[in-house]
Structure 1
Amino acid sequence: MIPLHDMLIFIAAALLMVLTPGPNMIYLISRSICQGRRAGVTSLVGVVAGFFVHLFAAAIGLTAVFMAVPVAYEVLKWVGALYLMWLAWQALKPGARSPFEAQQLPPDSSRKLILMGFLTSALNPKIAVFYLSVFPQFISPEHGSVFIQSIILGLTQISVSFSVNLLIALFASGIAAWFVHNPLWLATQRYFMGFVLAGLAVRLLLEQRQTA
């Protein structure tokens, strides 16, 4: 199955992905600040459900691609590296927005919170691109079933995202207030995240050249 070294790198990539600003994080933070922790956690249920849409779509699609068009594997790996570079730029570019700048949202019922969380996640282009471009970099037909590897990686990504987003939903107000009073730490976090993402992208590109 997937080597431990590759799995640890994937976990790091999944962690960086969930920590970069995106629709899911902004929605959960805004909902938690505007309607309370319970609403944030309820919304998270819908977000996690949306992840499974991406998971099974990627698992089925990548299995078919790897079997039908082997060269597509290398193409997707390059796209994944470029995607990581794009995420790095989003963190490093001047005027990058902090995810802790909450949007004002009206109170909603639990049913609507779950539905909106699901739609935000299922239609999130950041998650879709991650599953379609970063996943292939950690999957190899030599390590067994592509479908099983995809499921394992998907469940790992979901576990990482759930853990981080749960903490964010529970402590959004306190975290946002702390960053307001400590803007230097917010900038430091952005730059650290950006350079790590860029480093991961360079590593993946160099690895491709070595194995080509």
Structure 2
Amino acid sequence: MTGSMLFGAFMAALLYVLIPGPAFLALLGIGAGQGRKAGALFLGGHLAGDLVWSTLALVAIVGAKTIGTMVFDVLGLFCGFYLAWIGWSALRAKKRVDGSAMMAVERPLRRGLVFGLTNPKGYPVALATFTALLASSSNALDFQALPTLLGVSLLGFLVADVVLVTIIGAGLVRRFYRRHELAIVRMSGLLFMGFAVQAVWHAAPGLLGWRKA
């Protein structure tokens, strides 16, 4: 186990979380509208998905049997419909009379868990990120290294989560969000709809047998 391998796994996990995507947008709304505690709960649930996708990515990189595309096509289709529902809800959002957050989430931990396990960027981005940062140590990768790499990756996930919770809970960020909440929520809705179309677009060919081998 080399230092460069450990550093690569840590940075891959860190960047995987910090790369903007559907979960980042959801976290922005939850954290800025409901505070750091709700944002932390969302990320706590999302961590389960981070670990699942990073594990699959590392297993694939090591050269073990990869999971068939059908699993990810079905998951992608589910992701698409789920994101479309969230996007449609955001597009139809209206300011509340009592001044509370427009897109308040009653169970942020559960929302984070669902987001993490159905994140359309999950496996592809994890695979690309870990591959890029572990490429120099590819010859030393084996199954015996997996537990250590996952432990280092978990540390990277936690550091990234702390960074995000700190940012979204800052007073400046929260004030800016609440001042422009309606515009931000609806623009986020459009982005979620775009993510949904992308997820379905990539999943449909495989499910319909149109994807070339």
CA RMSD of aligned residues (A): 5.0
C-alpha displacement of 1:54: 4.5
Partner of 2:169 in structure 1?
A: 169
Contact 1:54 1:128 in 2 (8 A): yes
Partner of 2:28 in structure 1?
A: 19
CA distance in 2, matches of 1:61, 1:140: 8
Alpha carbons of structure 1 residues 12 and 47: separation in structure 2 relative to 1, 3 Å: closer
Between Structure 1 and Structure 2, how many residues are aligned?
A: 165
Partner of 2:88 in structure 1?
A: 89
The structure 2 residue matched to 1:204, chosen from 171, 183, 199, is: 199
CA distance in 1, matches of 2:193, 2:204: 17
SS in 2 for 1:203: helix
Partner of 1:190 in structure 2?
A: 185
Alpha carbons of structure 1 residues 78 and 174: separation in structure 2 relative to 1, 3 Å: closer
Contact 1:91 1:193 in 2 (8 A): yes
Q: Which moved more, 1:185-194 or 1:46-55?
A: 46-55
SS in 2 for 1:129: helix
SS in 1 for 2:100: coil
C-alpha displacement of 1:49: 5.6
C-alpha displacement of 1:187: 1.4
2:56 is the counterpart of 1:56: no
2:76 is the counterpart of 1:77: yes
C-alpha displacement of 1:209: 4.4
Q: What is the letter of the counterpart of residue 168 of structure 1?
A: I
CA distance in 1, matches of 2:112, 2:24: 13
C-alpha displacement of 1:72: 1.5
Contact 2:87 2:190 in 1 (8 A): yes
TM-score by length of 1: 0.52
CA distance in 2, matches of 1:203, 1:60: 24
Q: What is the letter of the counterpart of residue 130 of structure 1?
A: F
CA distance in 2, matches of 1:153, 1:208: 29
SS in 2 for 1:11: coil
- Where structure 1 has 5 or more consecutive residues not aligned to the other structure, the ranges are 2-6, 30-39, 103-119
C-alpha displacement of 1:130: 1.7
Among the aligned pairs, what percent are the same residue?
A: 15
Q: What is the letter of the counterpart of residue 128 of structure 1?
A: L
Alpha carbons of structure 1 residues 87 and 162: separation in structure 2 relative to 1, 3 Å: farther
- Where structure 2 has 5 or more consecutive residues not aligned to the other structure, the ranges are 1-7, 9-15, 102-106, 132-140
C-alpha displacement of 1:88: 0.7
The structure 1 residue matched to 2:111, chosen from 126, 132, 141, is: 126
